Structure 1
Amino acid sequence: MDKLGHYRIEATLGQGAMGVVYRATDERLERTVALKVLSLSLSSEERAEYAARLQQEAKSAARLNHPNIITVYDCGDIDDHAFLAIEFVDGKTLQSLLASGVKISPAKLVKLAGQLFGALAYAHEHDVVHRDIKPANLMLTPDGRLKITDFGIAQLPTSDLTRVGTVVGSPRYMAPEQVEGKKLDGRADIFAAGIVLYEILTGKRPFDGEHVATIAYRILHETPEDIRSINPDVPEWLAELVMRCLEKDPANRFQTAREARSALREQASTAAVVGGNGSGNGKPAEANGGEAAPKASKPVVEESTGGKRNLLPWLGLGGVVLVIALGVGLMGRKPAKPATTVVEAPAAAPAIEPEVLPPPGASGSLPAQAAMPMQQNVAADAPPPPSKMPIDPNENARPKADSEQDKAAAKKAKTKGKTAQEAAPAAEPPKPLEHHEPPPPPPKKEPEKKAPVEKQDDRSLLERLAGCTADGQCPKSKLPPKRDR
């Protein structure tokens, strides 16, 4: 076939039991399309049934406008050839990539799963159930975008053309309720998506067999092998999410594809904060269904129009160095000592100097004979008071020359008083005391009471015995007569 209506056929892209897919050019709009045409080998009844389903599916898919869903351009029947013109995707199917041995990392899988769940959520919210999610119906573009194809013969949207009891789809990717011919909803597509993710992570299908009956039995009754036992590099949270999609009971799966995408986002974000991103390579996962998740910003040096490089990395490096310097300075700083209050001790009372009388015979001083009683105030080791000394009966016979001895004794007492004054230890200067609390105030000194001054007889004992008056006049002594021997 070279041409169908205004579509010029250029190459064959694929062929199945129910039809052929061509790459063609729309001559009216001058754009490349993928043209799906029903096989002429079908019986008239089969052709009529699948033509009605193809047209119904085309109407449903035409309502879907999502970046991860193939776009439907046209449908019709030309010369008994039912056809469907859809968007041409320059890429490869996931099935061809897996068959060629391409390994998809868990981080890349998280991105693809986010796009897949996002596209299914959009379709389910518009009452479209794909019913045939499998690697052959998932296209990958060179820029990494996923496209869901084949909203066509093998799968039908929710409509009156889908009858309960009819089994439609690929056996290895069917949900348990789909195998049993029950009424389906979006949870059947979630189960099929779980099978695809399981196959990418482990390299094997969870339910496989040589016969359709064997595959159907395993889907209904057997639990797939643990993902991490096959591929230990898969994060635990990702393995648990895929296994939840493969629950036998639809009530135990994610109830909507949007819920599955939200759980994928949340788990990927938590894993990225805790340990890289939990997806195996430390890169942030994009799990937002076609919308690129915000990636961690990296310092990039770009060439500007003037040829200068961006200074942002250098500014960041300078900030790091500044923070490190401040930290080292704070670590080397000694802790401040607690402030102490220095309280000076109260000044010592001034030392009482001994009273020193002028020398005998000086102006305003006592006579030499009256200087003896003052010695008991000058030195502590002065002789006892004269009143307690024994009286010599021959003392009256001493000559007046003894007054010269009195003067010498008074002078000696004066000198001894000065020596005692100089030998007295000087008061030590007050030392500062450290107290955290002020000391109690010093006790108040009571004024000293002066004893009443009594008039005393200033005459010395010698003067009184000699009969001297108070003004210092003494009678002349008489020499005793010489005795003849």
Structure 2
Amino acid sequence: MQPILAGDANAACRLLAEEWFLKRVHSHYFPDVLALPGRNFLYFAVRYYEGATLQDQLDAGQHFSPVEVVTLMIRVLKGLAALHRLDIVHRDIKPANLHVDPAGKLRILDLGVARCPILDTRELHAQPGTPSYMAPELFNSAEASPQSDLYALGASGYHLLTRNYPYGEIEPFQRPKFGEPAPPSRTRPDIPPWLENVLLKAVARDPAQRFETAEEMLLALERGEANPLLRRRTPLIERSPAGAWPLVAAFSIALNLLLLFVLLAS
């Protein structure tokens, strides 16, 4: 642990928790923890990997094709599936925490704010994560879940393709209002409709409209165009409540008139 954090109990707990998580996730989508002799200081070591994070690549001007983003997301989902099977939620999936080595192998970094009920760390992190990649419900004090990890991955894929965020950039301590995410194909016309549908489902404002598990989202990406995910049509009353109520009122009046006519005729 850095000397500047030596007296920080939360930082010490995060460090211990991260080592604990990494030792329990047996997956090549995470860094390997190195075996160490007796320690006199609070630290742990992971294997060093050449390469760069996806954020580093974005900052260097890397242009990601839809095929590349699908491949990357599939690999992340396989790692998340392994994590979620252990009842661990990452809570900070973003391009800066996704590392790719020269051989193309992807690893998920930074489990310092991850959460597992067995090792309860809720009190240590009032609102962990990076705002622009955080699911809407987290801003209302909801607990992180596998679906909020999938949201963060969807937002990451969206950002890799468009360099934008589904609901715009969100600053720390901001209380954002979430409308409807802009279709990424507006910025990148080369995004196929099926991939756009997957991304929009992943970043849906309502958790109930997202993928339930990493495996479900993985299947949607692996099937791709062969068995495309159909986009759910938003009901008019959800898209435009003010515009829907006149139609509801008109239908109600017509129904009442019809019932009155039937009663008078009989």
TM (norm. structure 1) is 0.44
Structure 1 segment 94-133 matched on structure 2, within 5 A: 94-133=54-93
Higher relative contact order (CA 8 A, sep 6+): 2
- In structure 2, the partner of 1:244 is 201
2:48 maps to a residue whose letter is F
1:240 maps to a residue whose letter is N
- In structure 2, the partner of 1:41 is 4
Summarize deviations over 1:106-146 as a string: whole Å, max 9, x none. 11111111111111011100111110101111001112221
Please state how far the C-alpha of 1:89 moved relative to its aligned partner: 1.4
Supply the RMSD in Å over aligned alpha carbons.
2.4
CA contact (8 A) 2:18 2:110 kept: no
- In structure 2, the partner of 1:184 is 144
Please state how far the C-alpha of 1:99 moved relative to its aligned partner: 0.9
Structure 1 segment 423-442 matched on structure 2, within 5 A: none
Summarize deviations over 1:409-452 as a string: whole Å, max 9, x none. xxxxxxxxxxxxxxxxxxxxxxxxxxxxxxxxxxxxxxxxxxxx
- In structure 2, the partner of 1:3 is none
Please state how far the C-alpha of 1:264 moved relative to its aligned partner: 1.1
CA contact (8 A) 1:131 1:169 kept: yes
- Which stretches of structure 1, 4 residues or more, deviate above 6 A after TM superposition? none
What is the aligned-residue identity percentage? 31
Bigger Rg over Cα = 1
Q: What's the secondary structure of 1:60's corresponding residue? A: helix
Is the counterpart of residue 56 in structure 1 residue 17 in structure 2? Answer: yes
2:208 maps to a residue whose letter is A
Cα distance between partner residues in 1 of 2:103 and 2:65: 16
2:3 maps to a residue whose letter is L
Q: What's the secondary structure of 2:122's corresponding residue? A: coil
Please state how far the C-alpha of 1:155 moved relative to its aligned partner: 3.6
More helix by share: 2
Structure 1 segment 410-421 matched on structure 2, within 5 A: none
CA contact (8 A) 1:55 1:76 kept: no
- In structure 1, the partner of 2:102 is 142
Is the counterpart of residue 69 in structure 1 residue 24 in structure 2? Answer: no
Summarize deviations over 1:70-95 as a string: whole Å, max 9, x none. 2223589956x532211211111100
Give 2:127's match in structure 1, choosing from 167, 179, 183: 167
Cα distance between partner residues in 2 of 1:72 and 1:183: 28
In structure 2, the CA distance between the partners of 1:182 and 1:210, relative to structure 1 (3 Å rule), is: closer
In structure 2, the CA distance between the partners of 1:258 and 1:210, relative to structure 1 (3 Å rule), is: closer
- In structure 1, the partner of 2:250 is none
Q: What's the secondary structure of 2:42's corresponding residue? A: strand
Q: What's the secondary structure of 2:34's corresponding residue? A: strand
Q: What's the secondary structure of 1:228's corresponding residue? A: helix
Moved more, 96-105 or 176-185: 176-185
Structure 1 segment 448-463 matched on structure 2, within 5 A: none
Is the counterpart of residue 86 in structure 1 residue 49 in structure 2? Answer: no
CA contact (8 A) 1:55 1:75 kept: no
- Runs of 5+ in structure 1 lacking a partner? 1-36, 272-485
Is the counterpart of residue 264 in structure 1 residue 221 in structure 2? Answer: yes
- Runs of 5+ in structure 2 lacking a partner? 229-266
Cα distance between partner residues in 1 of 2:168 and 2:203: 14
Please state how far the C-alpha of 1:173 moved relative to its aligned partner: 1.3
Summarize deviations over 1:258-292 as a string: whole Å, max 9, x none. 11001111224447xxxxxxxxxxxxxxxxxxxxx
- In structure 2, the partner of 1:414 is none
More strand by share: 1
Cα distance between partner residues in 2 of 1:76 and 1:171: 39
In structure 2, the CA distance between the partners of 1:186 and 1:225, relative to structure 1 (3 Å rule), is: same
In structure 2, the CA distance between the partners of 1:267 and 1:259, relative to structure 1 (3 Å rule), is: same
2:199 maps to a residue whose letter is V
Q: What's the secondary structure of 1:121's corresponding residue? A: helix
Cα distance between partner residues in 2 of 1:213 and 1:51: 24
- In structure 2, the partner of 1:226 is 183
Give 1:217's match in structure 2, choosing from 169, 172, 176: 176
- In structure 1, the partner of 2:165 is 205
Cα distance between partner residues in 2 of 1:77 and 1:51: 18
CA contact (8 A) 2:166 2:181 kept: yes
In structure 2, the CA distance between the partners of 1:76 and 1:93, relative to structure 1 (3 Å rule), is: farther
2:181 maps to a residue whose letter is P
In structure 2, the CA distance between the partners of 1:75 and 1:58, relative to structure 1 (3 Å rule), is: farther
CA contact (8 A) 1:76 1:83 kept: no
In structure 2, the CA distance between the partners of 1:210 and 1:194, relative to structure 1 (3 Å rule), is: closer
2:182 maps to a residue whose letter is E
Summarize deviations over 1:236-275 as a string: whole Å, max 9, x none. 000110010001221110000011001111224447xxxx
Q: What's the secondary structure of 1:147's corresponding residue? A: strand
In structure 2, the CA distance between the partners of 1:234 and 1:223, relative to structure 1 (3 Å rule), is: same
Structure 1 segment 284-299 matched on structure 2, within 5 A: none
CA contact (8 A) 2:5 2:11 kept: no
1:188 maps to a residue whose letter is S
Please state how far the C-alpha of 1:97 moved relative to its aligned partner: 0.3
